[in-house]
Amino acid sequence: MIIDCHGHYTTAPPALAAWRDRQIAALAGSAAAPVRADLRISDDELRETIEPNQLKLMDERGIDLTIFSPRASFMAHHVGGFETSSEWAALCNELCHRVSTLYPDRFAPAAMLPQSPGVDPATCLPELTRCVEEYGAVALNLNPDPSGGHWTAPPLTDRSWYPIYEKMVEYDIPAMVHVSTSVNPAFHTTGAHYLNADTTAFMQLVQGDLFTDFPALRLIIPHGGGAVPYHWGRFRGLAMALGKPELEDHVLGNVFFDTCVYHQPGSDLLFDVVPARNILFASEMIGAVRSVDPRTGHHFDDTRRYAEAKLSEADWAAIREHNARTVYPRLDALLKGQGR
């Protein structure tokens, strides 16, 4: 089977954005804050947003299941404070859970956290726990920069993040390290901030010794790792200069990359540089790049094509399914429970 480890609910019903607009307006004192019960979205409305969009493309591209999380740019942890993020995360996570309930064979939920700049990450634990225990979340998204492009948070190796890592290890779930909207005009959200963050997160992990403290922790760096594969020699050299082991020993037991790279040469580089065991199939379809490449006549985000053009059958089998079952044990258990 083909498992897409990187999907977001980018087509959520307009009522969700309208609720968020009211919440943001209330922060400015121009309106009363909405409550969760004000958001009314029927199952039919969810179907109307999923079936002609994500499901249609999954069927066309032969993708069996997508790990489905709230829209990354909508997380917007820089807006308001913890209470704002808490209400917003709860609503977004509930919708992804509902989609996975409507289509249990096609979607597995992943959770966003109610992060907020300058707030102790431990405040996210109740929502994390709720999503795993009540919604069956198989993963979470972890934003290394809740400030929205200003990078005020400590590096991922800082002990302030440890409560989240401890809970991840307890639940045996991984996290995708994924930033949200950039409000820094120097960084375009999807063209710069996302890729910068992928690269930055990897270097933070190279600099530290996080996996000595958490040998069972698993992190996925999306978008093919940003600049990481292209500058693998630089990172190897920097690791040596820092007195760290080779990258294979220092980080690759715990860090994985997805295939959200939208052209053949870039995908080939990823497959040539990073061991196949550390790569997970993903497309982030209906995401940052939605158009058709005029040079190929295919959608940029049809990443299956790039993988099949390059990989051996053994490596393709690992990347499309077996690695995901290893990195996401709760997903593997879910699939086995379904007879898959």
CB 247 within 8 A of CB 235: yes
Would residue 284 show up in a list of annotated catalytic residues for this protein? yes
Q: Are 70 and 93 contacting, i.e. CB atoms less than 8 angstroms apart?
A: yes
Q: Are 148 and 184 in contact (CB under 8 A)?
A: yes
**Six-digit token pair at 309?**
């053009």
d(CA 111, CA 168): 12
Catalytic residue among 87, 94, 127, 284: 284
Crossing angle of the two packed helices 303-310 and 264-273, in degrees rounded to 10: 50
Q: Identify the three-state secondary structure at position 236.
A: helix
Are the C-beta atoms of 66 and 60 separated by less than 8 Å?
Answer: no
Look at the chain and count its residues. Answer: 340
The one-letter code for the residue type at 64 is D
C-alpha 310: how far from chain center: 24
Instruction: Give the Cα separation of 14 and 21 in Å (integer).
Output: 11
For 189, the token pair is 């959200």
Catalytic residue positions, numbered: 284
